[in-house]
A and B are shown apart, each in its own frame.
Chain A
């Protein structure tokens, strides 16, 4: 795709945490692009660094002194990494919205949800109170909260988890952002509610022409909502491509094994676990980080880190592996 179509361009992004005088890399030289009007899912297990990666984009890592972020984050014509905090706060309030997993902690417990949404609306402009209220009710309606007038007066604890997540989405939409980052937004919800929220996220993203980064460990949720997928393992992106390619013709052994390890209703007999455990950040394998658990690992896999390979059949798909499945493009990157 031409570079102008890209909303977000991440180059060599690393996040390190300072622990007891040591610096430990959590996210390791990530390259990632997100086009306009698309959903990119970042998939990985716990400890893969997927949330760190996403939160480093909006500088919401917590105590800034503990984290060292390096690389380039190009968003909508601006370089985010060098921006002063005040500018960054503007971008978070206007251009990029974040939806968290835990809606109960993310909302103010003593303010009715309608007021909280109105506050989010007022942050982007100088509309009158009346206009702000109208917009708030419109947003509650857009996220399909029944009887918005009455619900606007509710406090967060009076709402179910699904309803609270709808409120979070309404707040995220309030500033008409160009990018929404949703960090495991449906993880604590029941499956029928998850299905409703995923559908809502997909619809509001499309209707508002935004892009979305969807962070999840749930391959089913990713399959339902993502256009593109980046698979993370132990702080690195190991495979990228369209959702269709990644899920139907995975190239990296980790992606393939993760799909085979996922219990499926329609394939009950085919369960195959991945041996071993995710390596700890303070003792990462030096070469390919998946090699100790990889069934296809050979000598070279423990000697040097692999570069991303591209494939003849799909120019968008890349896998960081010496021996990926499928025929490689002749000139590898």
Chain B
């Protein structure tokens, strides 16, 4: 059976020009990304700002068009569906955004926000819509008197519940959530994580969670891919990648994710330098200028995928590459 979401050889560059007459230069935001999500699976895509993780999400949602590659949902090409203006494909794919303040229309009350997907779909009667949205409110644990209220009457956490309810309206099979917790207070974050976990289970819902917070990803996701400057550098189960990271960049991210106990004191400043500009990425392995274990070949050769005995994939010269000549980064691992 094909995976729920299958992202194949995705590429996306953005043109930037410093001045009107200067030749256009390109930022490679996504440089060959392969990623999949199974039915009912929660996959985390992690990395620091500028690594391209949000661009991946926006390509999947069709908010921007990829330069190359294919995105399949339930085996069907999404770009193909969009070309044919087949909106059915979109019903199966929904998004939750980071900012619960700007992603809800302040002039629409909750009833209008939640019925909008149904009105666009145009299949249900007013009474059926009403029944559905009452059930949606229950699912995200909002009081039933919320319908006539407006977004400004709700806290950040409650607004994110409304966003999730709206995403659930058309019974999607996949939700792409781009940093859905980073605008929320800690005490509320955990509520939303547990809500997403419940929905994942009840509806066999797949999640692609874009996040910079390794603790959040470890708490919610079963599989994780780590991105650095447009490339995925490590992928495996959350346990493998986050508990025992192997790529030096993942090791650095893990080290910099400070636990709330005094062991955090020994973890500071383990990684030097900053993420380089995507306009002028380092040759070879993008991470080599910051890598404590960089070797000569890291400066010139792009590492291919190594599959470790535990099954995870790492793109790093420290690990022996798979024997098959086809096991380069451009192939699916």
Also in contact, A190 and B212, with CB within 8 A (given A199-B269, A220-B258, A220-B259): yes
B216 and A263 contact, CB distance less than 8 A: yes
Stretch among A88-96, A130-138, A240-248 lining the B interface: A240-248
Also in contact, A195 and B262, with CB within 8 A (given A219-B186, A271-B219, A272-B190): no
Say yes or no for A198: interface residue by CB 8 A criterion: yes
How many chain-A residues does the 8 Å CB contact rule pick out? 46
B157 and A277 contact, CB distance less than 8 A: yes
Contact with A along B286-324 (1 / 0, CB 8 A): 000000000000000000000000000000000000000
- Max chain B C-beta neighbours (<10 A), residue from A46, A192, A259: A192
Which residues of B sit under 8 angstroms from A32, Cβ to Cβ? none
Complex: chain A residue closest to B216, CB-CB = A263
Which residues of B sit under 8 angstroms from A163, Cβ to Cβ? 274
B268 and A271 contact, CB distance less than 8 A: no
A262 and B48 contact, CB distance less than 8 A: no
Shortest Cβ distance from residue B185 to the other chain A in the assembled complex, whole angstroms = 4
- Max chain B C-beta neighbours (<10 A), residue from A195, A222, A247, A261: A195
Among candidates A190, A198, A219, residue contacting B268 with C-beta atoms closer than 8 Å: A198
B48 and A190 contact, CB distance less than 8 A: yes
Which residues of B sit under 8 angstroms from A223, Cβ to Cβ? 258-265
Say yes or no for A162: interface residue by CB 8 A criterion: yes
Say yes or no for A208: interface residue by CB 8 A criterion: no
A212-242 interface with B by 8 A CB criterion: 217-225
Say yes or no for A160: interface residue by CB 8 A criterion: yes
Among candidates B49, B218, B262, residue contacting A265 with C-beta atoms closer than 8 Å: B218
* Alpha-carbon distance A281/B24, docked complex (angstroms): 52
Say yes or no for B193: interface residue by CB 8 A criterion: yes
Which residues of B sit under 8 angstroms from A304, Cβ to Cβ? none
B274 and A261 contact, CB distance less than 8 A: no
Which residues of B sit under 8 angstroms from A162, Cβ to Cβ? 274
Shortest Cβ distance from residue A217 to the other chain B in the assembled complex, whole angstroms = 7
Shortest Cβ distance from residue B287 to the other chain A in the assembled complex, whole angstroms = 11
- Max chain A C-beta neighbours (<10 A), residue from B218, B243, B260, B267: B260
Shortest Cβ distance from residue B48 to the other chain A in the assembled complex, whole angstroms = 4
A45 and B187 contact, CB distance less than 8 A: yes
Which residues of B sit under 8 angstroms from A200, Cβ to Cβ? 269
Chain B interface main SS type: helix
Chain A interface main SS type: helix
Say yes or no for B213: interface residue by CB 8 A criterion: yes
Complex: chain A residue closest to B242, CB-CB = A265
A195 and B269 contact, CB distance less than 8 A: yes
* Alpha-carbon distance A258/B260, docked complex (angstroms): 10
* Alpha-carbon distance A179/B330, docked complex (angstroms): 54
* Alpha-carbon distance A54/B49, docked complex (angstroms): 29
Also in contact, A192 and B190, with CB within 8 A (given A221-B258, A223-B259, A224-B265): no
How many chain-B residues does the 8 Å CB contact rule pick out? 46
Complex: chain B residue closest to A222, CB-CB = B260
Complex: chain A residue closest to B192, CB-CB = A273
B189 and A263 contact, CB distance less than 8 A: yes
Also in contact, A274 and B187, with CB within 8 A (given A223-B259, A262-B260, A265-B257): yes
Which residues of A sit under 8 angstroms from B262, Cβ to Cβ? 223, 243-244, 247-248
B242-267 interface with A by 8 A CB criterion: 242-243, 252-265, 267
* Alpha-carbon distance A248/B248, docked complex (angstroms): 30
Say yes or no for B69: interface residue by CB 8 A criterion: no
Shortest Cβ distance from residue A168 to the other chain B in the assembled complex, whole angstroms = 16
Complex: chain A residue closest to B219, CB-CB = A263
* Alpha-carbon distance A225/B219, docked complex (angstroms): 25
B214 and A271 contact, CB distance less than 8 A: no
Among candidates B185, B212, B259, B274, residue contacting A45 with C-beta atoms closer than 8 Å: B185
Which residues of B sit under 8 angstroms from A247, Cβ to Cβ? 260-262
Say yes or no for B271: interface residue by CB 8 A criterion: yes
Shortest Cβ distance from residue A5 to the other chain B in the assembled complex, whole angstroms = 22
Q: Can you add 10 more A-B contacts, CB < 8 Å, to A191-B214, A265-B242?
A: A198-B268, A199-B269, A202-B268, A223-B259, A247-B261, A248-B262, A264-B219, A265-B214, A265-B215, A273-B193
| A-B contact list, 30 entries, CB within 8 Å | A190-B48, A190-B212, A191-B256, A191-B257, A192-B252, A192-B275, A196-B268, A199-B269, A222-B260, A223-B258, A223-B261, A223-B262, A223-B265, A224-B258, A244-B262, A247-B260, A247-B261, A248-B261, A258-B186, A258-B187, A261-B190, A263-B213, A264-B219, A265-B242, A265-B243, A265-B257, A272-B190, A274-B188, A277-B155, A278-B187
A residues at B contact (CB < 8 Å): 45-46, 160, 162-163, 190-196, 198-200, 202, 217-225, 243-244, 247-248, 257-259, 261-266, 268, 271-275, 277-278
State the 9 A-B residue pairs at the shortest beta-carbon distance, nearest first: A220-B258, A199-B269, A219-B260, A273-B190, A263-B215, A190-B48, A274-B187, A199-B268, A224-B264
